[in-house]
Structure 1
Amino acid sequence: MTSDIKNEVRHFIIEELEWPGDSDQLGDGVSLIDEGVLDSLNLLELAHFLQSHYRIRVEDIDVVAQNFETLDAIEAFVASRLPTSSSPVAQ
C-alpha cells in the first residue's frame, strides 16, 4: 500500500500541482518545498487531496515541512493516519 501512496501522490503533484520537470525527476526524496512545488496554496490543495482520497484528517498542526517536504514524508504521514484495513476512495 505504501508505494501506492507515493505513486498516487506523485501523479497528483505532476497533474494537479504542475510539477515543472520530467516525471522521472520527481524522486521519493526530492524536496517539494525547495523545488517550489509546495507553496501555501498548493500545500492546501495537497492536504485536501489526502483528506478526500485517503479519508484521513489533516489538522492545521500537521501542515509542516516534516510531513510534506518529500514523497517519503507524505507517505509516512498518510500511512500513520490510515486505519490498518483502509483503502483509498475510488476515483
Structure 2
Amino acid sequence: MAIELDPQLLDILACPSDDHAPLRAGAPGDPDAEVLTCTSCGRRFPVVDGIPVLLLDEALPADGTAADDASGEAGSRGDG
C-alpha cells in the first residue's frame, strides 16, 4: 500500500540531517514501501499511521545506495 500524504506536505518535508534534502515517498526498488526516502543520503523514515517519523534515531539506513553504507551490516539479520 502506497503512502498517501498531502502533496503540499511532501513538498515542504526535508531530511532532518545536516543536508536537509527533499524526501520522496517509497523506497528505491519498492515505491509502495511505507517510508519517506531522502534524495541525498538515502535514509528511510517510516510512516506510522499516516505520520512521518522524521527522527534520525528512527531512520532506516540507506539501501546500499549511499557511499557511507560500506560497513557490510545491510545484509546482516542476526538470525540464529
TM-score, scaled to structure 1: 0.27
Which has the higher Rg, Structure 1 or Structure 2? Answer: 2
Which protein is richer in strand relative to its size? 2
Which protein is richer in helix relative to its size? 1
